[in-house]
């Protein structure tokens, strides 16, 4: 398919909606041209063909700007409106290449790595692209964890001297919930950056991450004491009275905490601010689900051929 319209001001190519086809490209090399990227986004947005947001029109023109103009009423619409690509000044082919790097590298990529490999002018541009992807990685309305779920907190960040127990100064606290599969193995995970380890911080996390009726396994920390009154089966193991170490009693959360710490220090070299940690946690959960080290019950949107809308950042 040729794209003779890349220079020119207004209506330069008339293409019936019916000619939009599901792309067959299987790697980023199919997305070296802007027009190919736009084709793909249009297919995601309008899998049945262009649809005017104002009238029943299903036919139109693609303008030089990449927008579509309805043949019936003249309304212009864009495949990128309301998505993370809305009004971006970075070419779509660079966005696509960054997405490819982010998802195909086993441990993801750092903004510095993307800046260098794509030849971007600034670190900020690379970081902002990756960050928008991270924010969009959570599937709205995803199901809560169920069955047997381990919950604990972990302290992530750089090395911190001194201090014992649950107090922290420079480290960030991450609440972790992990489904434990029967007979063994890890299921889905949920992570959240919490300000402290009080019941006011941890209980809302559990409520959002774990479905009522699940068995929630925690240590003896007082913040978890009321879980039994909130619709959960509460299994409580007081570590002080245990001969086994914590990583044996609650292997799931300790495995996830150690993978997370390694990922933050390795791929991102510990350069993750507390302010943006939640977005990085999204990316970590997605990487782990895709690498099958932990489970992913529903296929992540976008990793199959079904159309999906990207959520705005
Ligand atoms: Zn219209």
Domain extent listing, the chain: 1-81, 84-136, 148-159+169-291
| 309 — pLDDT class (breaks 50, 70, 90) | very low
Q: 11 C-alpha to center of ligand 1: Å?
A: 16
- The CATH number given to 148-159+169-291 is 3.30.420.10
* pLDDT score for 179: 93
260 vs 162, residue with greater confidence? 260
| 82 — pLDDT class (breaks 50, 70, 90) | confident
| 207 — pLDDT class (breaks 50, 70, 90) | very high
* pLDDT score for 151: 96
Q: 50 C-alpha to center of ligand 1: Å?
A: 10
Q: Model's pTM, two decimal places? A: 0.72
Q: 69 C-alpha to center of ligand 1: Å?
A: 8
Q: 266 C-alpha to center of ligand 1: Å?
A: 50
* pLDDT score for 244: 72
In this predicted model, what pLDDT tens digit does every residue of 119-141 receive, in sequence order? 999 999 999 999 999 888 877 77
191 vs 267, residue with greater confidence? 191
* pLDDT score for 33: 83
Q: 63 C-alpha to center of ligand 1: Å?
A: 15
Q: 73 C-alpha to center of ligand 1: Å?
A: 4
d(CA 93, CA 95) in angstroms, rounded, equals: 5
Q: 173 C-alpha to center of ligand 1: Å?
A: 50
Q: 302 C-alpha to center of ligand 1: Å?
A: 28
User: Which of 170-175's residues contact partners 24+ apart within 8 Å by CB, and which partners?
Assistant: 172/274, 172/277, 173/197, 174/257, 174/260, 174/277, 174/281, 175/151, 175/201, 175/202, 175/205, 175/206, 175/209
* pLDDT score for 28: 57
d(CA 133, CA 99) in angstroms, rounded, equals: 8
Q: Tokens at residue 181, please?
A: 């599969």
* pLDDT score for 191: 94
DSSP 107-171: T---HHHHHHHHT-S-HHHHHHHHHHHHHHTSPTTPPPB-SEEEEEEEEESS---S--TT--SSS
First-to-final CA distance of the chain? 32
Classify 209 as helix, strand or coil.
helix
Element (DSSP H or E) covering residue 202: helix 199-209
pLDDT mean across residues, the chain: 79
Is the pLDDT score of 163 beyond 50? no
Q: Mean pLDDT over residues 210-231, rounded?
A: 94
Q: 167 C-alpha to center of ligand 1: Å?
A: 59
């Amino acid at each position: 398919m040729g794209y003779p319209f890349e220079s020119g001001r207004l209506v330069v190519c008339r293409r019936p909606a019916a000619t939009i086809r599901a792309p067959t490209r299987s790697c980023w090399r199919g997305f070296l041209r802007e027009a190919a990227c736009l084709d793909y986004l249009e297919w995601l947005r309008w899998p049945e063909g262009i649809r005017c947001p104002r009238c029943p029109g299903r036919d139109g023109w693609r303008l030089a700007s990449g927008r579509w103009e309805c043949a019936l009423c003249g309304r212009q619409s864009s495949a990128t409106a309301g998505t993370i690509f809305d009004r971006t000044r970075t070419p779509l082919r660079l966005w696509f290449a960054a997405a490819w790097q982010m998802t195909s590298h086993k441990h993801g990529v750092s903004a510095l790595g993307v800046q260098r490999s794509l030849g971007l002018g600034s670190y900020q541009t690379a970081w902002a692209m990756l960050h928008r992807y991270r924010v969009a990685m959570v599937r709205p309305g995803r199901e809560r964890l169920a069955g047997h779920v381990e919950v604990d907190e972990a302290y992530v960040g750089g090395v911190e001297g001194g201090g014992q127990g649950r107090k922290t100064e420079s480290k960030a606290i991450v609440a972790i919930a992990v489904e434990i599969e029967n007979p063994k193995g890890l299921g889905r995970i949920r992570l959240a950056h919490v300000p402290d380890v009080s019941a006011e911080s941890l209980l809302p996390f559990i409520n959002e991450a774990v479905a009522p009726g699940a068995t929630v396994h925690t240590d003896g920390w007082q913040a978890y004491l009321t879980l039994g009154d909130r619709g959960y089966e509460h299994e409580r193991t007081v570590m002080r009275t245990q001969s086994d170490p914590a990583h044996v009693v609650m292997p799931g959360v300790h495995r996830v905490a150690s993978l997370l710490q390694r990922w933050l220090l390795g791929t991102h070299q510990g350069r993750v601010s507390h302010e943006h940690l939640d977005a990085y946690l999204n990316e970590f959960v997605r990487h782990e689900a895709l690498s099958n080290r932990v489970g992913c019950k529903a296929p992540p949107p976008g990793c199959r051929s079904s159309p999906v809308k990207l959520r705005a950042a």
